[in-house]
Structure 1
Amino acid sequence: MTMEIDDLLRELNDQRRTFRVTMRGLTSADAVKRTTVSDLTLGGLLKHLTWCERGWTHVLTEQPGTPDGMLDVSQYVWPGGDFEQLLASYDEAVRATDEAVRTASLDKLVAMPSAPWDPDPEPMSVRRIVLHVLRETAQHAGHADIIRETLDGQSTTAHLYES
């Protein structure tokens, strides 16, 4: 593994940890509550980032076809259920992404699946895919922090360095 891969995964995992802190102590009922004018919920964001990790791992490992749910507009909706299982699914997806990145060359170009908004996409480097997942995770970590603070006053920043 190269220093660059180590650095990219370190930053990505820092953002994942920030996101994961917002989930501490939540119940399934908390995870489906809308606390802002947005339809986003903490469970919905967790479902979406789990899908993102799985989808990009699918692409990184060059599995054929479009990843399941890639074009599903309800990917931000989590109707409820076993929140602990959803957390475990996210953690499993994170491990799979990290493993795929560790075994890849960052310069390798990977074919992208077609989508309605881009029927003939250009290939992306593994590096760019990792940076995309990093950006996506950071963006949604911020959303989650706002939702959580509105839900019960908990601030991710205040809890980042708690054990």
Structure 2
Amino acid sequence: MGQRRKYTGEPYWHHPVAVAETVSAVETATAEMIAAAHLHDVLEDTAVTAQDIEECVGQRVAVLVQELTDQFIDLEIGNRAHRKALERNRLAQVSPEAQTIKYADLIDNTISIVARNRGFARVYLAEKRQLLEVMAAGDQGLRRQAWRVLEEGEAKIRGVAN
């Protein structure tokens, strides 16, 4: 309770709601995808378990949330570049539904990070460019939107756009 977004200071719940709203606009969105979008960070950020999610909203939502949960956050696995490469390879193999949700997550995070922390944005955008290159099975319209937001962010941090 009381969590705040790192770069905006807004209540944290704004982020999953924004991700879910973006997913809900996709023609192929299902109720399970929208629920998973709302819950996409809970396994990383709370004591909630996949079993808790399954008991409350069903197995498909729990599976999607597990697919969206970063599996390589342990610092003992290696440096950031190594962990992100492992996670990128994993995300390239998740379901199209999970990839669609991940595109929406990337869109919302990119907008926030570029607007508020251009130094970190350089690292973040390079990582997300590599991710979008290999994560190609989700909704193609939303993937194109994610590419657009990423490229706009890159232009902003280069000083081409404000």
| TM-score scaled by length of structure 2 | 0.29
The structure with the greater share of residues assigned to helix is 2
Larger Rg: 1
Of structures 1 and 2, the one scoring higher in RCO (CA 8 A, sep 6+) is 1
